[in-house]
A and B are shown apart, each in its own frame.
Chain A
Amino acid sequence: MYLVNSLFSAQTMKKRIIQGFWAYWGVKNISLNIGIFLLYVLLGKLGLSFAFVNPSATVLWAPTGIALVALLLFGFRVFPAIFFGAFFVNLITAGGVPTSLGIALGNTLEAVTGAYLVKRFANGVAVFDTVLGIFKFTFFAALLSTTVSATIGVITLVLGGLTPPQTFWTVWLTWWMGDMGGNLLIAPLLLVWATHLKIRFSPRGIGHYLLAISSLIIVTELVFLGVIPYAYLCIPLAVWIAFWFGRRGATTTTLIVAAIAIWDTIHGMGPFGREPSVNRSLILLQVFLDIFSLTALTFATTLLEYSKSKKIIATQAQRFKALIENSFDSVVLIDTSSKILYASPSVKRLLGYTPEELEGKVGFDLIIPEDREKTMKSLSELVLKPGGTKTVEYRTISKDKKIIWVEATGTNLLFEPNINAVVVNFHDITDKKRAALKMLEEKMEDEAMLGSIGDGIIATDKTGKITMVNQRGCEILGVKEKELLGKSIVTAIPMEDENNKVLPMEDRPMTKVLSLGKKIITSSAVYYVRKDKTKFPVHFTVTPVILDKQIAGSIEVFQDITQEKEVDKAKTEFVSLASHQLRTPLATINWYLEELIKNGTNLTEKQGSYLREVYSASRRMVDLINALLNTSRLELGTFVVEPAKIDIAQVAKQVIQDLTPKIEEKSITLKEEYQKDLPLIQADPKLLTIIIQNLLANAIKYTKEKDTVVLKAEYTDKGFAVHVSDNGYGIPKNQQSKIFTKLFRADNARTIEPEGSGLGLYIVNSIVHATGGKIWFESEENKGTTFSVSFPQSGMQQKVGEKQLI
C-alpha cells in the first residue's frame, strides 16, 4: 500500500508525467533514458536469443540488473527507458502490442519494487558495501522483486495465448531464474563499477591484473570446454582475484566466467552442457553462476569491511595515544605483573621520573610498602575482568623520595589490540587527602565533643526537621537517634505547658527562632513528652543557625530540670516553713522591745538608743523574712491576686507614711505628683503596696541625703503608670541586665548599703509580670534612676492561688 501510495497514486503519476515531459526533463535526462533504453534493448535481445521454453522467457535476462541499477543510481526519472526498452524488445521478438505492454509493465514494476526495497531496507547504492547489505539485496531484489515480473509476464503470455496454461510454472520458473540472474550477476557489476570508477594504474598492478585475467580465462575455458569438467575449480581463482582486486575484481570475474560458461554450455560443452535440454543446462548453470557471484562478492566485501575496521581501529589507537600523551593525568600501561610498558610524559611532573626511567620498572616498587598489598589485590582482581575498571588510592614515592597520595584508575585493556595492557591513569590527591584527613579528625572531635556534652542538643533544618541529636539528648528523651532523624521536632518531641496542653507548631520556640532568627531561652515552664508518654520539665536555649545571612536551621540545647525543680520546690517550702518559725521569736522580741522603749523611764538616754537599735535590727529581720517568704510564694506560684477598685494615690500615701522615718532620717525631699482625677484602678492592694513600697524604699535607700525622690502616678489611654525617680547613685550599665535577678545586688549598692536582700526588685518584677503589667527603668550611674510600672486600663489580672503575699 505504501509503495502504491508513494509511487503510483494517480495524482503523483499525473504530476510526474507532466513534469517529466514538459518542464523538468532536459536533454541530459532524455539522453540518459535513451542510453539505458539502448543498453536494455541490446542485452534484452541478447538474452532472448537464449529463450528456449518460450520466445519471451529466457533464463539469461540481464536487463533486470540494468533496470534496478539505473533506478538506484538515477532515480525514478529513468523508468521510461525501462518501460519502453522492455516493450520494444518484446515487440520485436514475439507477440503483439498488448502482450509486450503487459510484459513491459511487469518488468518496470519489478525494477521499481526492487529499487524501493533496496533503498528502504538495504542502504540503496551502498548495498554492496557490507556483507549484510549483500544478504538483504539477495532477498529483497534477487528473490522477492523478481517474482513481480515473472508473474505479470507469464500471466500476460497465457492471456495472449502465447503459451499454454499448463506450461505456466515451467515458464514462470525460467523467467524468475533469468531475472534473478540479472540481479545477481549484472547488478553488482554495474553498481560496484559505477560507484568506484577510479582506477589507479601501476605497471606492476597491470601485470598482476593481466596475469589474473588470463589465468581465469584459461581455467574457466578448461572447465567449461569440458577438459577438466569441475565447475568449482573457478572458485579459488575468484577468491584470489577478490583478495587482490576487491569487489570490482570479483564482479568482473563473475562476468567473465558467466560469459565463457554460457557460451560453452549452450554449445553443449562443460559440466552443465550435457543435460537433456539446453534450458535445463542453462538453469543449472544459472544456479552455479548465482552462487559463484555471491561467493566472490561476499568474500570481497568481507575483506573490505575488515580493512575498514582495521583502519578505524588504527585511528582509534592513534587517538588513544594522543589522549594519553596529552592527558593532564599521568598514564602508565602495565602488564599483569605491574611492569611498566609505557609511561606518559606527564609522569615527570608528578613523580619526577622521565617516562624512559619508568619504562621497564615494576610499578609496585614505586608504592610505599604499606599500600602495596592493597594495590596488588586490586590489580589481580582487575586482570580477571577484561574491559573492567578499578579505582584505588595509595601512596607512591617520587624520585626525590617524597610520599604522594594518588588516585589511580586502572582499566583492563589486556585483550584490546594495539594496547594489550592495563591502562592506569592517576593524579595527585595529596592536598585533597590532607584536607579530608583534617576534616575527618575535626568531625571526630566534634562528634566526641557533642557526645560528651551533658546537655541534650538537637539541630534542625529550616523546616524544623531534625538533622542531628547527640547521645545525651537521646538519653534524656528516651529515644534512639534514628527515631528522630528526618522527623519534624514538633511531632517527634511534643512539648506541653503547665496545664498538660500540647503546644501547637506556632507556639513552639523553635518556630519563632526559625521565623524571627532570634535566640530564645525558656521563659515559662514547659515540658517535653518522652516516647513512653512520661514528661519532664525542660530548660532550653534555641539558637538560629545563620548561613549566608539566611536562617538555615536551629540548634536547641536542653536539659531535664526535674531535679532542679524538685530541689527548688523543697527549698522554697523549707524557706516558707522556716520563715514562719523565725517570725514567732522575732514577734516576741519586738513586742517586748516596744514595751521597753515606750515605758523604760528608768533607762539612760544611751540605753534607750541601744534598745532602739536592737528594735530596728529586729524589724529589719522581719522584713527580710517577709521578703524571703514572698519570694518562695512567687516561685511556687501559689500566691493570690485579688483585684479590687482602689486609688493608687491612697496606696502610695500609706506607703509613704510607713517610710516617713527613713525619709526624714536622710532629709530627702519627696515630691508626689498624682495626676488630677486619677481613676480608680482594678488592682490587688497588697501587691500594689509591695510594688510601690519596694520601689520607693530603693529610691530612698540609694540616694544621698537631702536629694530628691519623685513619685508620679498617671493614667493615659495606654493605662496606669507609676514612676519612681531619684537622682541617686544609679545602676552601673554593665549590671543593668541583672537587676531583676533574685539575690542580685549591684556593686555600688553593696558598697553604699551593706544591708539588703537582693529580693525587692525580683519580687516587684515577678508580681508585675504575674499580674499582666510591665516594668522598666532608666538609669545612669551617679545621675539617678527612674523605675516605671504600668498596667493596662483593665488593671491587674486576677489569679487564683493559695497564699497572699505579705
Chain B
Amino acid sequence: MSGLKKVVLITEDEPPMLRILTDKLTENGFETLQAKNGEEGLSLAFQHHPDLILLDILMPKLDGMAMMSKLRQDDWGKKVPIIVLTNVSADTDETLQAIVKNQPAYYLVKSNSKLEEIVEKVKEILSPLPQSA
C-alpha cells in the first residue's frame, strides 16, 4: 500500500496496450503495476495487493479467467475489484457467469471502449461512493 495513490495492476500481453493503459492511468494519478501474463499478474497481485486489477483474458502461460479464479481463492484476492478488459471470448456465457460469480468484477470490450471510459470506470470503482462508505 503506497500512500494516497491507488494502485492498479494491469495484466495485458499486448505491449502497446499495456503501455497506453499505464500512461493513461499514471496521468490520472494512479500507481500502476504491469504484468505481461497471468502468472506474472498473480505473483504481483499477491505481492503488492493492488486496489484494482485490469485483466486481459487471452494471455500466455496463465489466462485471465484462470488468474481470476486463483485470486478469488485467496482471502485478500476475494475482495479485489477486477475489470475484465478483452476483445476475445469475454462474451461467452461461461465468461459472463464467471464475472457474475467472481464479484466485484466488471467487463469492458476494448474496441468498444474509449480509453477515457476505462479510466472513468476505474475511478468510479475506486472512488469512495456514499453507498459503499
Contacts and interface: CB of A to CB of B under 8 A. Distances in A.
Contact of A803 (B14, B16, B20, B92): B92
A806 interface: yes
A374 interface: no
A275 B69 CA distance: 151
B116 A626 contact: no
Contacts of A591: 17, 20-21, 24, 114-115
Which residue of A586, A591, A804 has the most chain B CB atoms within 10 A of its CB atom? A591
B109 interface: yes
A622 B88 CA distance: 14
A497 interface: no
A634 to B, nearest CB: 14
B111 A625 contact: yes
Nearest to B15: A588
Interface size class of B (residues with CB under 8 A): 20 to 34
Given A594-B114, A595-B23, A801-B93, A806 B109 contact: yes
Nearest to A639: B91
Interface in B83-125: 87-89, 91-93, 96, 109-116
A622 B91 CA distance: 16
A587 B110 contact: yes
A195 B77 CA distance: 140
A588 B14 contact: yes
Which residue of B23, B87, B89, B96 has the most chain A CB atoms within 10 A of its CB atom? B87
Nearest to A629: B91
Contact of B116 (A581, A592, A594, A804): A594
B111 A590 contact: yes
Nearest to B23: A595
Interface string A780-806: 000000000000000000000111101
Nearest to B96: A804
A645 interface: no
A76 B21 CA distance: 141
A307 B111 CA distance: 121
A622 B112 CA distance: 7
Nearest to A805: B91
A583 B20 contact: no
Interface string A580-614: 11011011101110110010000000000000000
Nearest to A586: B111
A640 interface: yes
A803 B91 CA distance: 6
A803 B93 contact: yes
A588 B17 contact: yes
Interface in A749-806: 801-804, 806
Nearest to B116: A594
Contacts of A802: 92-93
B112 A806 contact: yes
Contact of A592 (B16, B93, B96, B111): B16
B93 A587 contact: no
Contact of A583 (B92, B110, B115, B116): B110
Interface string B1-43: 0000000000000101100110110000000000000000000
A368 B16 CA distance: 97
A622 B115 CA distance: 15
B92 A622 contact: no
Nearest to B21: A591
A583 B115 CA distance: 15
A584 B20 contact: no
B93 A584 contact: no
B20 A592 contact: yes
A583 B111 contact: yes
B18 to A, nearest CB: 10
A587 B87 contact: yes
A591 B111 CA distance: 9
Interface string B60-91: 00000000000000000000000000011101
5 contacts: A583-B111, A584-B110, A598-B116, A626-B112, A803-B92
Interface of B: 14, 16-17, 20-21, 23-24, 87-89, 91-93, 96, 109-116
